[in-house]
């Protein structure tokens, strides 16, 4: 299933509140949740809630997704707290990518507690940030405060933005795909910039090797 199918109106209407809760919960703190399109899903859910025929009520949707985001981060935090530093030496697997965890660790070391809020708007980083906070033994009360704020700004506000757009822009559902692609681009951009700054030398070296190999094969 590709990313547009995950956040298509048909898929969200079919899975309903249970599916939305599960995806936001998983992306907020479970290792395998890093590939879920959370930002786009929240926006699409809000757009659908602006149409009564979708069966989604914004009064239920916003608190439900807020709770899912906060609970997911809590699970991630306690997993990191219990697992401790040894998780940073864990081998890659189908549902775990060590480089994403290390990227979140680097982000946490540079931004401290506010990482829990900022990471909400950064794919991959948002899944691993609470795990890193737990492993770093961040004070739970402090973590929980940032968690509540981040959950509200992300799960609550992004969903409400989608709902508002659906009510004030006539026929916006006709432009579903371009809007989703734009949201994906904007949400991925900060992570892409971070990766380019930290690994640009390795990326350029890999590209040079690839082009050199292509030239040799062409000859």
pLDDT in tens, 195-208: 566 656 665 666 66
Q: What sections of the chain are H helices per DSSP?
A: 3-6, 9-27, 38-49, 58-83, 98-111, 115-118, 125-135, 140-151, 157-168, 176-218
Asked whether residue 96 carries a pLDDT value surpassing 80, the answer given is no
The Cα–Cα gap between 125 and 203 comes to: 20
Distances (CA, A) of 29 to 24, 61, 97, 130: 9, 20, 14, 6
Say what angle helices 58-83 and 157-168 make with each other, to 10 degrees. 160
- Domain range list for the chain: 3-218
Name which residue leads in pLDDT, 102 or 81. Answer: 81
- The pLDDT score that the predictor gives to residue 8 is 58
- pLDDT higher than threshold 60 for residue 88: yes
The per-residue pLDDT for 2 is: 40
Region 160-173: mean pLDDT is 81
213 half-sphere exposure, CB direction, 13 A CA radius: 6
Closest CA to 98 of 112, 81, 86, 116: 86
Reading the block at residue 32, the tokens are: 């395998």
Report pLDDT for 14. 75
pLDDT of residue 26: 87
- Is the model's pLDDT at 75 over the cut of 90? yes
pLDDT above 90: residue 6: no
- Residues 63, 188, 32: CA angle, nearest 5 degrees: 65
Per-residue model confidence (pLDDT) at position 176: 65
Res 11: pLDDT:
67
- Return d(Cα 203, Cα 66) in angstroms, integer: 37
Please tell me the predicted confidence (pLDDT) of residue 5: 47
Of 8, 43, 73, 10, the closest CA to residue 169 belongs to 43
User: Is the Cα dihedral 114, 121, 26, 105 positive or negative?
Assistant: negative
The distance from CA 23 to its chain's CA centroid, rounded to whole angstroms, is: 10
| CA-wise closest residue to 105 among 79, 83, 78, 134 | 134
Supply angle C-alpha 87, 77, 41, rounded to 5. Answer: 105
pTM over 0.85: no
Least confident interval from 6-15, 83-92, 150-159: 6-15
Distance CA 190, CA 173 (A): 27
Whether residue 125 has pLDDT greater than 60? yes
Average pLDDT over residues 130-157: 90
Between residues 41 and 67, which one has the greater pLDDT?
67
Is pLDDT at 73 greater than 90 in this prediction? yes
Mean pLDDT value across residues 153-168: 89
Euclidean distance between CA atoms 123 and 183, whole angstroms? 12
Residue whose pair of structure tokens reads 């989604």 in the numeric block: 56
Q: Note the pLDDT of residue 3.
A: 45
């Amino acid at each position: 299933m590709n990313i547009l199918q995950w956040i298509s109106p048909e898929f969200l209407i079919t899975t309903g509140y249970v599916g939305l809760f599960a995806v936001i919960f998983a992306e907020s703190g479970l290792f395998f949740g890093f590939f879920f399109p959370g930002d786009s899903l929240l926006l699409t859910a809000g757009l659908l809630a602006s149409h009564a025929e979708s069966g989604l009520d914004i009064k239920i949707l916003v608190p439900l997704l807020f709770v899912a985001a906060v609970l997911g981060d809590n699970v991630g935090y306690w997993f990191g707290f219990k697992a401790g530093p040894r998780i940073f030496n864990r081998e890659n697997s189908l549902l775990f990518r060590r480089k994403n965890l290390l990227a979140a660790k680097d982000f946490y070391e540079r931004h401290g507690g506010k990482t829990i809020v900022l990471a909400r708007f950064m794919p991959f980083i948002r899944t691993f940030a609470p795990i890193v906070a737990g492993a770093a033994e961040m004070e739970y009360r402090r973590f929980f405060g940032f968690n509540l704020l981040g959950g509200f700004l992300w799960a609550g506000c992004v969903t409400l933005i989608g709902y508002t757009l659906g009510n004030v822009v006539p026929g916006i559902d006709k432009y579903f795909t371009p809007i989703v692609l734009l949201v994906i681009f904007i949400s991925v951009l900060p992570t892409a910039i971070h990766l380019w700054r930290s690994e640009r030398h390795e990326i350029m070296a890999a590209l040079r090797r690839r082009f050199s190999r292509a030239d040799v094969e062409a000859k």
